[in-house]
Amino acid sequence: MSTDYAWVADAMKQSVPWVTTAGIEFTEVEATRVVCSLPDVEGQRNHVGGPHAAVVFGLAETASGAVGLAAFNHVMSAATPLVVSSEIRYKKLALGPLTVEAVLTRPAAEVVAELEAGTRPEFAVDCTITNAEGVTTAEMTVVWTLKPHRK
């Protein structure tokens, strides 16, 4: 993990208790990309033996939030990140431990410029969820906004 962004994993675990409860680990954190892993936990499985859809969703949403924190931490005193929408596409039955790669889809500077111009910018984070063999089991797009604080 990049030492410059190692704090993101700690911040996510402290501010979102579910992250620790679920067992999500942060394996790579960069300014615009985060990779997280989720172990295979029997108590989180569905009726066919894989991680429940809610857990898969939660893994990807968590990674997308970490991307937002890493990319926009310097403006958090001026705005609060909030999810606007999410779309998940299940591709293949997920079994065993999972990994997600979450990537910011537009330049962070554009988002910050919109915020500084007085608008409520939106940005998408694309997530790819894979199994232990590297096969894509789901894809998810999370659209976030930076809601400016009231003055």
Domain coverage including residue 29: 3-148
pLDDT of residue 3: 55
pLDDT of residue 43: 87
Mean pLDDT by 10 residues, the chain (151 residues): 80 94 95 96 88 95 98 95 97 95 97 96 98 97 96 70
The Cα-based distances of 6 to 96, 117, 128, 131 in angstroms read 26, 30, 21, 24
Pick from 62, 81, 86, 60: nearest CA to 8: 62
Instruction: Give the number of domains in the chain.
Output: 1
The answer to whether 102 touches 24, Cβ cutoff 8 Å, is no
CATH number, position 113: 3.10.129.10
Q: Is the pTM of this model over 0.75?
A: yes
Cα–chain center distance at 148: 21
